[in-house]
Amino acid sequence: MGIEIFLAYCMDLVIGDPKWMPHPVVGIGRLIEKTESFLRRHILIERLAGVVLLIFVAGSAYILTYLIVFLAKNINETLGMAVSAIIIFTCLSIKTLAKEAMGVLKALEDRNLDLARRRVSRIVGRDTENLDESEVIRANVETVAENTVDGVISPLFYAFIGGAPLAIAYKAVNTLDSMVGYKNERYRNFGWASARFDDLVNFIPARLAGFLIAISAIFCGLKFRDALAISFRDGHKHPSPNSGIPEAAYAGALGVRLGGVNSYQGVVSEKPFIGDKKRELTLKDIKNAVKLMFVTSLVTLVFFYSVGIAILRFFVTLRMT
């Protein structure tokens, strides 16, 4: 499985998310929409319907991917490896996230705040129409930090554990959370299972993120000790049980403060501050955040390979004794 993951990682760095290529998330999204519509008509208890949705969508994604990889490997081992690599590649979003974040930076450098607001709206859930430059920068840095888990560490984690089928099942859970995991009237009960399960599957990767981001900060010329210390100190402050850890690690590494007032569909939400306000956010923080995300992706890959090799050697030694 190691070769497939390495190939997938390289493909993501080189290709990103090409518009011409069909993406599994689009299919998963359509399946969620159709299944939601069916379940709302036939199961009146919303939480039960939400549990069924989670099991059906994530289970279908896993089983279908498993069958595709299995059939490909039965035809030819190399074909099976290629199919696995392509599927894992679609679960990563390293280059795409960097491209979107740098697009916001370019607009700000050109002093086009309206364009920067529109571009950052593509990668954040908050309202962006009235953000000033500092708030656009903060939104950009926060989403790069959060997606270092969702788009990098977690997909690699599940790819190493269970290959392409488990990686795509993770992506299905992540997509479910983004589509139905809201705390509004429509989804508070129906999306409860998806939101809680997304928290569960990201629990370990998010906690690894604090350590991996801190280690990566060393190679970026950023602050290792602050990244690690603030991830422990402030990681729990975020309303999400997982998002606060990478955000705190980024805040510490960059030497800035994140969090504060956001607006979602016109509703103001005041989140606790994360990190220390040693200085104001600047455009350079976007560049450093993107660089930190790239380095973290490589450190994560090396870390998981190292752990995998160590486990393999342990079992080989165990069998020989």
Tell me the per-residue pLDDT of 27-52, one tens digit each, with 9 for 90 and over.
Answer: 999 999 999 999 999 888 999 999 99
Distances (CA, A) of 51 to 43, 84, 167, 190, 251: 11, 28, 20, 8, 35
Q: Which is it for strands 267-274 and 258-264: parallel, antiparallel or unpaired?
A: antiparallel
DSSP lists the bridge partners of residue 260 as 271
Cβ atoms of residues 128 and 136 within 8 Å: yes
Query: What digits encode the pLDDT tens for the residues 251-307?
Result: 999 999 999 988 887 778 888 999 999 899 999 999 999 999 999 999 999 999 999
Query: What digits encode the pLDDT tens for the residues 144-193?
Result: 999 999 999 999 999 999 999 999 999 999 999 999 988 888 899 999 99
Per-residue tokens: 150:
């969702």
What is the pLDDT at residue 1?
55
Q: How far apart are alpha carbons 182 and 260 in whole angstroms?
A: 20
Q: How far apart are alpha carbons 296 and 211 in whole angstroms?
A: 10
Query: What digits encode the pLDDT tens for the residues 79-129?
Result: 999 999 999 999 999 999 999 999 999 999 999 999 999 999 999 988 899
Mean pLDDT of 65-89: 96
Burial class (CB in 10 A: 0-12, 13-18, 19+), 38: middle
- Smallest Cα–Cα separation from 146: which of 259, 280, 281, 262? 259
